[in-house]
Amino acid sequence: MKHNEEIEVETVAENEEVTEVEETEAKDAEVEDTVDTDEEMHAEETELTQLKKQLQEEENKYFRVLADYDNFKRRSTQEKEAIQKYQSQRVLTSILPVLDNFERALSVEAKTDEAKSMMEGMDMIYRSLVDTLKSEGLIEIESLDKEFDPNFHQAVMTDKDEEKPSGVVLEEMQKGYILKDRVLRPAMVKVNE
């Protein structure tokens, strides 16, 4: 009987050793599973981070393209408006010498009835031309007795007049004109010192 008891004790001890080995292997497997799971989670987090970064880059590209397109539309609209606003600039610039010649011709004194009649006709044509040009946005720059402004005046002479303050336009040699808000030709003036 002792022998059976010894065998049973040995079998129990062996079973306990086997159970301990199995438990150790099970724990090792759990640790490996945990490590594998951690590595998989880390890999997924890294992939998720990369995907988020890629998405952010694509969104930034999209917003840049959208902003560029909006800027292009705005510039195109501004250019169209400028073209429409100043479309008559070249023609009006070419007509300015004609206005100057009309003014010179009208400043001559008519002595005969025939010359007076011709001057009246020229005056009517001149006024009609001026009205038409005004309707296109042509504005005459007023200079006489105004403060000299280099944006609108071109000083070609200076003179001294004690009765007027310094920097005032004394005489207008040639009229200046503005088309809407752009100077077509500055007025040529004589300025008081």
Tens of pLDDT, residues 17-45: 556 666 666 666 665 656 566 677 777 88
Range of the domain at 42: 1-85
pLDDT digits (tens, 9 = 90+) for 76-106: 999 888 877 778 888 889 999 999 999 999 9
Domain-terminating residue out of 67, 85, 103? 85
Residues 92 and 145 in one domain: yes
Q: What is the CATH number of the domain that holds 91?
A: 2.30.22.10
Query: pTM of this prediction?
Result: 0.59
- What is the number of other CB atoms lying within 10 angstroms of the CB of residue 61? 10
**CB-CB contact of 169 with 143 (8 Å):** yes
Alpha-carbon span 167 to 53, nearest angstrom: 65
Residues in the chain: 193
**CB-CB contact of 193 with 160 (8 Å):** yes
Domain-terminating residue out of 28, 62, 85? 85
Question: What is the signed CA dihedral for 58, 60, 62, 66, rounded to 10 degrees?
Answer: 180
Residues 39 and 117 in one domain: no
Nearest to 121 by CA among 101, 104, 105: 105
Residues 90 and 43 in one domain: no
Residues 147 and 81 in one domain: no
Q: How many domains does the chain have?
A: 2
Alpha-carbon span 99 to 96, nearest angstrom: 5
Q: Residues 6 or more apart from 165 whose CB is under 8 A from it?
A: 192
User: Looking at residue 171, what is its pLDDT?
Assistant: 92
Nearest to 186 by CA among 91, 175, 53: 175
Domain-terminating residue out of 61, 85, 109? 85
- pLDDT(1) > 80: no
Residues 118 and 151 in one domain: yes
pLDDT digits (tens, 9 = 90+) for 172-189: 999 999 998 889 999 999
- CA 51: distance to chain centroid? 34
Residues 180 and 109 in one domain: yes
Nearest to 186 by CA among 149, 157, 161, 136: 149
Question: What is the signed CA dihedral for 144, 146, 149, 153, rounded to 10 degrees?
Answer: 0
Question: What DSSP line would sit under 145-183, residue for residue?
Answer: TSBP-TTTEEEEEEE--TTS-TTBEEEEEE-EEEETTEE
